[in-house]
A = this chain, B = another copy of it.
Amino acid sequence: MDASWIDKFNGLSRLPEDIRADLEAGSQIVSVPAGTQVFAPGQSADNLLLLLDGTVRVQQKSETGREVFLYRVHAGESCVLTTACMLAFEDYSADGIAETDVSAVAIPRTTFDDLVAKSPVFREFVFTAYSRRITDLFTLIDDIVFKRMDVRLASRLLELSDDDGAVHATHAVLATELGTAREVISRTLSEFQRRGWVEQSRGEVRLTGRAALDRLVRSSGAQS
């Protein structure tokens, strides 16, 4: 059709004409409102999703009821993990939730399989996406095991802050993002506030000392 969505995806722009046509014909664009459960444990996906707009948070519920945040899928990325279970016919254990209104391209299993067979470029796109996700998980594990909470929180605040230096998230949300307890976030933020690095109000944290937060993050090796 018009300026194709395909060009929003780095690895796909090099696709030859015929494959592009197949891909466009064999897929469709879907939209879901914020808050929708995009995929859930026990329901095997049959579409690969490529995000055009919005973000999807992927997390895992533990038996104890708490949740760990695994990673966030941004526009221009794909929900590769759904692919894994799609092709392996395996259900998997993570939830995907639309954090914002989301629009995405849904590629059904048959189209996907077909393209993987036919196009080396598409194959590379898929495997690159995998590779990136997996290294993300590795660094997540590394962070959880070795990094201090204050460092991880500082880094996450910097990541989540908007242009005005504000983070719109409750302590509880930040806690699940980092896989910790709300109380820990409250205490750490109080400490940050005491040092003049942030100001707090209900449901919001304003960063008043980005530089200091940055220094804290840097002071302990590379960040996430």
Residues of A whose CB lies within 8 Å of any CB of B are 60, 62-64, 66, 68, 70, 81, 83-85, 87-88, 90, 92-94, 113, 116-118, 120, 123-124, 127-128, 130-135, 137-142, 144-146, 179, 220-222
Contacts and interface: CB of A to CB of B under 8 A. Distances in A.
10 contacts: A60-B138, A62-B221, A63-B220, A63-B222, A83-B127, A85-B131, A90-B135, A93-B138, A117-B120, A141-B179
A134 B134 CA distance: 8
Given A60-B142, A142-B60, A145-B179, A131 B92 contact: yes
Could you say which of A64, A68, A88 has the most chain B C-beta atoms within 10 Å of its C-beta?
Answer: A88
Secondary structure of the A contact surface, majority rule: helix
Copies, count: 2
A214 to B, nearest CB: 17
A98 to B, nearest CB: 20
B144 A145 contact: yes
Nearest to A94: B138
Nearest to A63: B221
